[in-house]
């Protein structure tokens, strides 16, 4: 049994999957950063609860909260929140006609929470703890009181009741009658690809773009080479040994 090999950082690790990390980096670089998160939706909203957009003080942005309908307004509000040093809770309605005009299938309504990093609503140490848990593949939930905008971090091991159910279903949101929003940060699901054939050369980058964490299994070094799969994690084991080592589902994802 060998250790997995990786020749270089994965070539297609979307920045949109690393928004908390990007927000922390921009904040520490002195650019300022605010995280905008969809906390509630009605109708046919383009993006689900938990979707995020990170905005820098200079207007740079990454991610999406509406598929293009209200990003401009959210960026403007995020810059204003950064200047004021206070979080904001925004609400937008997009009619079907307006959505169609920008190329979307239908409209809806969304509420977006804007949290400037380094303020009471998102202190830097709290964000750093979240980033560390994500790096360690530990499932975490950022809980935000939508009244006070106060935040705290909870691990999956600490979760009970409805929050534990949210971890299992990987579903961010608020429960009926509650003002507590749970933003879920489960580690990405691993996709195990057996056989370093030509189809796998296209499949692994596609899987990463779709949010999976692919692993390639093939004991044939000539097939599973860094030249054929640059940046991918390759296990030089037979499938039975590799699968036993990686312990795939049905073990709990956290």
Cα separation, 245 vs 63, whole angstroms? 34
Instruction: List pLDDT tens digits, range 145-180.
Output: 999 999 999 999 999 999 999 999 999 999 988 999
Answer whether 146's CB lies under 8 Å from 155's CB. no
Burial of 8-22, coded b for 16+ CB within 10 Å and e otherwise, reads: eebeeeeebbbbbbb
Assign 54 to helix, strand or coil. strand
Asked if residue 250 has a cis previous peptide bond (ω within 30° of 0), the answer is yes
Confidence bin at 217 (pLDDT 50/70/90):
very high
Answer whether 89's CB lies under 8 Å from 83's CB. no
Confidence bin at 2 (pLDDT 50/70/90):
low
The predicted structure's pLDDT at residue 98: 65
Instruction: List pLDDT tens digits, range 65-108.
Output: 887 778 889 999 999 999 999 999 999 876 666 665 554 556 67
- Domains (range + CATH), the chain: 1-187 (no CATH), 190-246 (3.40.50.720)
Q: Tell whether the model's pLDDT for residue 6 goes beyond 60.
A: no
The predicted structure's pLDDT at residue 107: 63
Answer whether 80's CB lies under 8 Å from 34's CB. no
Q: Tell whether the model's pLDDT for residue 247 goes beyond 80.
A: no
Answer whether 36's CB lies under 8 Å from 112's CB. yes
**Mean pLDDT of all residues belonging to the chain:** 87
Answer whether 236's CB lies under 8 Å from 221's CB. yes
Q: Tell whether the model's pLDDT for residue 35 goes beyond 90.
A: yes
């Amino acid at each position: 049994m060998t250790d997995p090999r990786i020749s270089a950082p994965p070539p297609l690790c979307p920045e949109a999957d690393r928004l908390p990390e990007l927000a922390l980096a921009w904040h520490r670089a002195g650019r300022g950063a605010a995280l905008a998160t969809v906390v509630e939706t009605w109708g046919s909203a383009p993006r689900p609860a938990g979707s995020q957009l990170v905005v820098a003080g200079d207007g740079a942005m990454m991610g999406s909260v509406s598929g293009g309908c209200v990003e401009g307004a959210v960026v403007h509000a995020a810059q204003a929140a950064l200047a004021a040093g206070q979080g904001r809770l925004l609400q937008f309605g997009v009619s079907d006609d307006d959505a169609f005009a920008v190329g979307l299938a239908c409209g809806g309504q969304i509420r977006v929470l804007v949290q400037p990093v380094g303020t009471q609503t998102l202190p830097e140490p709290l964000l750093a703890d979240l980033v560390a848990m994500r790096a360690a593949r530990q499932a975490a939930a950022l809980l935000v009181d939508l009244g006070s905008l106060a935040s705290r971090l909870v691990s999956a091991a600490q979760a009970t009741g409805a929050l534990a159910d949210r971890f299992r279903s990987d579903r961010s949101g608020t429960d009926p009658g509650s003002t507590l929003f749970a933003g879920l940060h489960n580690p990405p699901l691993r996709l195990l690809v057996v056989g370093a054939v030509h189809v796998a050369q296209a499949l692994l980058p596609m899987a990463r773009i779709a949010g999976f964490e692919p692993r390639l299994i093939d004991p044939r070094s000539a097939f599973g080479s860094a030249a054929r799969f640059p940046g991918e994690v390759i296990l030089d084991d037979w499938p039975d040994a590799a699968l036993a080592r990686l312990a795939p589902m049905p073990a709990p994802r956290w």
